[in-house]
């Protein structure tokens, strides 16, 4: 059994952004040389998410706008106070909540060396509190 | 280590429907003849979801109605425009968003040949953009 | 390949509570003596959830309050009727819905015997319908 963890650096260009990482996941799986197994994509940050959705700019926009409608930026959140551990005021509650709703990972089978995705299913790294240097894990288990 | 992927065809009877697929998952695991391992249930479509919840018709109805309240059908979504790749107007944004909130997969251990579910926990295929021919994966890894 | 399932009992002190279970997960993985593999944390109840988020009391409060804003306690849910199988009136629809939005599990790699978490990422058992005796699974697969 082979176990391979790759940590990928990523940096959005905007405060809120859905970044399609499907090709990166496919490439990493190919390089691992595993025939059968499973691949996990897991974000390392709690104001980001991993989503599976259709790769259309209008759908990406609808996702971001709907999350913003459900979890508005301007709202008296508890986190909006001085945090000694931060040395500043907590201001990214919406990011933590969008992360909760989105989830922090996805998983797909590896069959005959290839990631078995669904129909019109792409993998997204969702930035809800940019612009920051971020990392996500691609973890492959198999034979 | 054994790896088995089964793709299951499914078709809702209504535009929005929660279909209980627990027995199908249990049967597939039984047929695989694996004693210890893990089973993943993953939908292949981005206007559908996989949920784990209690098998009560009133709870199913509440889930569908609440998602519809949070993500209304009538709303000026960006996806509502002519898409050359579709040859039609994108009209299923609510499905993409309900899919995001629900998630596209679930996972349970296999212990002594049986799926180890929780208490009153059933597995649902959630159709948010029917009526269409759909597929989901049951992927079993184990020994 | 080693497969280990541990069921952990847990009981919130309040009706709604986020309980940080990260140390329990780390300890269980350590005791398993696995070098490389994967750990799943899965709740056994459908009015609870498993979340990954930052361990700050103000963020925990924001999560609970936002879920309550999106899925209010006082609302004419379908589940609010007499259920012969319960012997009482179903009153925990908000719990079922918060569970759907949160998800019922999380997953992390095990690398060199340790759980590979993200940055400021803690694991929470979310009680949305307490106070009850609950259980969640820690399932470890690896070598």
The pLDDT mean for chain C works out to 95
**pLDDT value at residue C60:** 97
Alpha carbon distance A87, B18 (integer Å) = 47
Nearest CA in chain B to A54: B46
The answer to whether the Cβ–Cβ distance between B53 and C139 falls below 8 Å is no
**pLDDT value at residue A71:** 97
Nearest CA in chain C to B64: C97
Alpha carbon distance C56, B102 (integer Å) = 25
**Chain B CB contacts of C107 below 8 Å:** 107
The pair of structure tokens assigned to A66 is 């709907």
**pLDDT value at residue C80:** 81
The answer to whether the Cβ–Cβ distance between C121 and A44 falls below 8 Å is yes
**pLDDT value at residue A114:** 97
Candidates B40, B42, B68, B88, partner chain A, best to mutate (most A CBs within 10 A): B42
Closest Cβ opposite residue B58 in set C40, C44, C81: C81
The pLDDT mean for chain B works out to 95
Predicted confidence band of residue C81 (pLDDT cuts 50, 70, 90) = confident
Candidates C1, C40, C42, C99, partner chain B, best to mutate (most B CBs within 10 A): C42
The pair of structure tokens assigned to B123 is 């597995």
**pLDDT value at residue B79:** 81
* HEC secondary structure over C25-65: HHHHHHHHCCCCEEEEEEECCCCEEEEEECCCHHHHHHHHH
The answer to whether the Cβ–Cβ distance between B120 and C46 falls below 8 Å is yes
**pLDDT value at residue A91:** 80
**Chain A CB contacts of C124 below 8 Å:** none
Is the predicted pLDDT of residue B90 greater than 80, yes or no? no
Over residues A65-80, the pLDDT tens digits come to 999 999 999 899 988 8
Residues of chain A with pLDDT under 50: none
Q: Is the dihedral of CA A114, A115, A116, A117 positive or negative?
A: negative
Question: C-alpha distances in angstroms, B78 versus A19, B92, B99, C28?
Answer: 18, 11, 17, 47
**pLDDT value at residue C22:** 98
The pLDDT mean for chain A works out to 95
Predicted confidence band of residue B42 (pLDDT cuts 50, 70, 90) = very high
Q: Which residue has the tokens 């002594």?
A: B112
Give yes or no for a contact between A123 and A27, defined as CB atoms under 8 angstroms apart: no
Q: What is the mean pLDDT of residues B129-134?
A: 96
Question: Can you give the pTM of this predicted structure?
Answer: 0.96
Predicted confidence band of residue C32 (pLDDT cuts 50, 70, 90) = very high
């Amino acid at each position: 059994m082979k176990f391979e963890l790759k940590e990928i650096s990523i940096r959005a260009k905007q405060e809120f952004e859905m970044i399609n990482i499907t090709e990166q996941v496919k490439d990493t799986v190919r390089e691992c040389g595993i025939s059968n197994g499973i691949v996990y994509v897991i974000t390392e940050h709690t104001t980001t998410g991993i989503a599976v959705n259709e790769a259309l700019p209008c759908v990406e926009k609808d996702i971001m706008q709907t999350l913003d409608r459900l979890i508005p930026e301007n709202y008296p959140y508890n986190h909006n106070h001085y945090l000694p551990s931060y040395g500043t005021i907590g201001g990214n509650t919406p990011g933590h909540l969008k992360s909760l709703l989105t989830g922090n990972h996805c998983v797909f089978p590896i069959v005959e060396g290839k990631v078995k995705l669904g129909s019109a299913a792409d993998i997204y790294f969702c930035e809800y509190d940019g612009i920051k240097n971020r990392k996500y894990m691609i973890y492959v288990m198999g034979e």
